């Protein structure tokens, strides 16, 4: 735990913590909307360093975690076919479907390959024209431009053996769903800086005004997170509710114009189901009609596949901020990284994985540990 003490005692971290402590006069609940921020918070013990009157609620900030079970089963169905090369980012291979995951499909003989870009999958399709090559497109607005570029390039090249299984989700509708949920306790949000680097901040002022909540665009390093918290608390104490950019080195207000043009050309918004949460209106993207031939759901006829979620896994409550991972009876017992019930335990940005990795299993969570160790 020495690195926690070093972080806490660093000059800037101490000044930020002191400023938060001096500013706060009442309890406040803040939600971070990014799994990367959640991992930074738990790894560095930021939630344990803050005054007791500040609660950090972990939101649906992991696109792998919110990919619905039926989409995972569609991926498994397609990947199992003998004529298919199924390409995916590595973090999707351990995500459980209703009965198995992509690793098990691969071990049974399927051609499942980890790639680092959808353009890598596109190159596979060019090298192996006799095979159907499918890329599993999962992510928030951050990864969507690269998938859109691959779709546009495939159309330009006339690659008839390349397609995309798309499950992209959008952050602002998820924030609104959290705010509309019964018993919502969230009073301010730390918005995901990488999403805003693509999309800009134009969608957030309406949410601030409608629900009277501050939204602070925040980075991912521990000092970035502390600065986001400091600004959110300052707004709450002043009765303000506006968008504030605490990550200007990466986020221009207008976002990335070139990426936005590509997204508008390839995708259109659609209602999207979020695992453990349900359908959120206009919260996802699908391929436009001009790109329908690249839609793997259409090409492999898996669009109507439906499955039931596990009644044991409570990851939906974790994703909505209603439950801390340790409060789930399955955490660390029947649900571990080796035997996950849900994606929140295996994703590199999942809240359950963060608690399992950085907080240990079966030990009480106490603030004194951060201070003494």
Q: What CATH number did the domain enclosing 186 receive?
A: 3.40.50.11750
**Quick check: is 314 in a domain?**
no
pLDDT of residue 8: 56
Residues 150 and 159: their CA atoms lie apart, in Å, by 11
**Quick check: is 353 in a domain?**
no
**Quick check: is 13 in a domain?**
yes
Q: Same domain, yes or no, for 147 and 100?
A: yes
Q: Total domain count for the chain?
A: 2
Give per-residue burial for 132-142: e unless 16+ CB within 10 Å, then b: bbbbbbbbbbb
pLDDT of residue 62: 86
Q: Same domain, yes or no, for 177 and 165?
A: no
Residues 157 and 127: their CA atoms lie apart, in Å, by 13
Question: In the chain, count of helices (H) and strands (E)?
Answer: 18, 11
- pLDDT (tens place) for every residue of the chain, 373 residues total: 444 555 555 688 899 999 999 999 999 999 999 999 999 999 999 999 999 999 999 988 888 888 988 999 999 999 999 999 999 999 899 888 888 999 999 999 999 999 999 999 999 999 999 999 999 999 999 999 999 999 999 999 999 999 999 999 999 999 999 999 888 999 999 999 999 999 999 999 999 999 999 999 999 999 999 999 999 999 999 999 999 999 999 999 999 999 999 999 999 999 999 887 889 999 999 999 999 999 999 999 997 777 677 777 888 888 888 888 989 999 998 889 888 888 888 888 889 999 998 887 544 443 333 322 2
Radius of gyration for the alpha carbons in the chain, expressed in angstroms and rounded: 21
How much of the chain is helix, strand and coil, in % rounded to 5?
A: 45, 20, 35
Query: Bridge partners of 188?
Result: 30
pLDDT of residue 363: 42
Cα distances from 9 to residues 20, 45, 371, in angstroms, run 15, 13, 10
Q: Same domain, yes or no, for 54 and 178?
A: yes
Q: Same domain, yes or no, for 163 and 42?
A: no
Contact 218, 197 (CB under 8 A): no
Q: Same domain, yes or no, for 119 and 178?
A: no
Give per-residue burial for 36-45: e unless 16+ CB within 10 Å, then b: bbbbbbbbbb
User: Which of 299, 318, 333 is the endpoint of a domain?
Assistant: 299
- What DSSP designation does 335 have? B
**Quick check: is 343 in a domain?**
no
Q: Same domain, yes or no, for 166 and 265?
A: yes
E strand or H helix at 58: strand 54-58
**Quick check: is 306 in a domain?**
no
Q: Same domain, yes or no, for 197 and 291?
A: no
pLDDT of residue 364: 42
pLDDT of residue 61: 82
pLDDT of residue 235: 98
User: Which of 263, 280, 299 is the endpoint of a domain?
Assistant: 299
Q: Same domain, yes or no, for 148 and 7?
A: no
**Quick check: is 278 in a domain?**
yes
**Quick check: is 337 in a domain?**
no
In terms of residue numbers, what domain contains 284?
A: 64-170+255-299
Collapsed DSSP state (helix, strand, coil) of residue 175? helix
Q: Same domain, yes or no, for 33 and 159?
A: no
**Quick check: is 362 in a domain?**
no
Q: Same domain, yes or no, for 51 and 72?
A: no
Q: Same domain, yes or no, for 9 and 80?
A: no
CATH number of the domain to which 265 belongs? 3.40.50.11740
Q: Same domain, yes or no, for 72 and 161?
A: yes
């Amino acid at each position: 735990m020495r690195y926690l003490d070093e972080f806490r005692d660093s000059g800037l971290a101490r000044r930020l913590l002191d400023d938060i402590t001096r500013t706060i006069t009442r309890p406040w609940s803040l939600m971070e909307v990014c799994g990367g921020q959640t991992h930074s918070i738990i790894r560095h013990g930021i939630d344990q360093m803050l005054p007791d009157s500040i609660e950090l609620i972990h939101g649906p900030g992991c696109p792998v975690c919110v990919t619905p079970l039926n989409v995972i089963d569609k991926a498994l169905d397609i990947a199992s076919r003998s004529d298919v090369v199924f390409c995916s980012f590595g973090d999707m291979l351990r995500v459980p479907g209703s009965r198995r995951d992509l690793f098990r499909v691969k071990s049974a003989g399927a051609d499942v390959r980890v790639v680092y870009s959808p353009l890598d999958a596109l190159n596979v399709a060019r090298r192996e024209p006799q095979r159907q090559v499918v890329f599993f497109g999962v992510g928030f607005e951050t990864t969507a431009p690269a998938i859109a570029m691959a779709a546009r390039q495939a159309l330009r090249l006339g690659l008839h053996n390349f397609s995309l299984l798309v499950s992209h989700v959008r952050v602002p509708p998820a924030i609104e769903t959290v705010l509309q949920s019964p018993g919502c306790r969230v009073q301010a949000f730390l918005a995901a800086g990488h999403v805003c680097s693509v999309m800009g901040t134009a969608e957030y002022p309406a949410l601030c005004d409608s629900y009277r909540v501050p939204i602070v665009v925040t980075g991912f390093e521990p000092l970035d997170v502390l600065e986001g918290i400091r600004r959110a608390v300052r707004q709450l104490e002043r009765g303000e509710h506006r968008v504030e950019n605490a990550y200007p080195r990466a986020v221009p207000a207008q976002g990335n114009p070139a990426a936005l043009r590509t997204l508008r050309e390839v995708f259109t918004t659609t209602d999207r189901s979020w695992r453990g949460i349900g359908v959120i209106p206009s919260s996802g993207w699908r391929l436009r009609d001009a790109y329908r031939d690249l839609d793997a759901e259409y090409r492999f006829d898996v669009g109507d596949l439906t499955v039931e979620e596990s009644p044991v896994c409570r990851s939906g409550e974790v994703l909505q901020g209603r439950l801390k991972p340790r409060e789930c009876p399955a955490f660390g017992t029947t649900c571990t990284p080796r035997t996950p019930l849900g994606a929140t335990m295996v994703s590199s940005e999942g809240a359950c994985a963060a608690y399992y990795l950085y907080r240990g299993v079966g030990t009480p969570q106490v603030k004194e540990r951060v201070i003494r160790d």
